[in-house]
Amino acid sequence: MHKLGRYVYGLIRAAEPKDFGCIGFDCGGKPGRVYTVRVNSVAAVVSDYAGPDKVLPLPENLDPHHRVIREIMKTLTIVPMTFGHVAKNEEEVERTLRRNRDTIRAELDRVDGKVEMALKVKWDVDNIFEHFVGLDPHLAAFRDELFGRSHAPAQAEKIELGRMFEQRLADERDVQTERVVEAFRPYYGEVKVNPPKNETTAMDLAFLVQRDGVKSFEECVYQVAGTFPAQYLFDFSGPWAPFNFVALDLHVAAA
């Protein structure tokens, strides 16, 4: 049997105890009660947790983690913890809050009243290599030279063609990302450029936006998308808790 610990979802300001209802991790066969552990006006949002110390990122675990954070951020500013933080007991949570309350307050101040908006842009084309060959005469000429011969190209030549393509891809990402970031500048406080997950990803951006500025941000997405060729597909989501803009780790902080 696992010992009863406390799963930590995030950090908020709370002048008094708060109870968010039974929306947390399964505990005893039903959703756990989510509540606060406070030190002065700084609080951790927790629920009882009777699972293993290492929480695996399975759907049944990720769902309650994100559900709690989404529910709280509807009305409060929350500094979300990365997935999987389990404390031994409430006393351990209190010690961590007490030891790091100034750092936690500063982080809460930094993201107060702000939410994260995600913007992903992809090249909506059948073949990304052929798309860039059509845009770049130098790349097209080298491709035609290699495959227009009577004999197959050498391995080194194919590697060089691949390198040229990847460089062209990276250069285009840099140019277009700078263009989008500049266009959105009036609507965000901070921006994070995430690494592309695949070849067709043109950009993967996260913006820290004032909660009351979300509508203006969304309107800007449509305006900016309209200035790009049809091959660029814009997709935005949010508002989310500012996962990309906080680096506070309770386990590190407690060490």
Q: What is the pLDDT of residues 40-82, one digit of tens each?
A: 999 999 999 887 778 888 998 999 999 999 999 998 999 999 8
Contacts of 124 (CB under 8 A, 6+ apart): 200, 230, 231, 232, 233
Q: For the segment 119-173, what is each residue's pLDDT rounded down to a tens digit?
A: 999 999 999 989 888 888 888 888 887 787 777 788 888 888 889 889 989 999 9
Other CB atoms closer than 10 Å to residue 142's CB: what's the count?
17
Share of the chain above pLDDT 70, in %: 96
pLDDT at residue 115 greater than cutoff 90: yes
What is the distance between the alpha carbons of residues 75 and 26, in angstroms, rounded to a whole number? Answer: 24
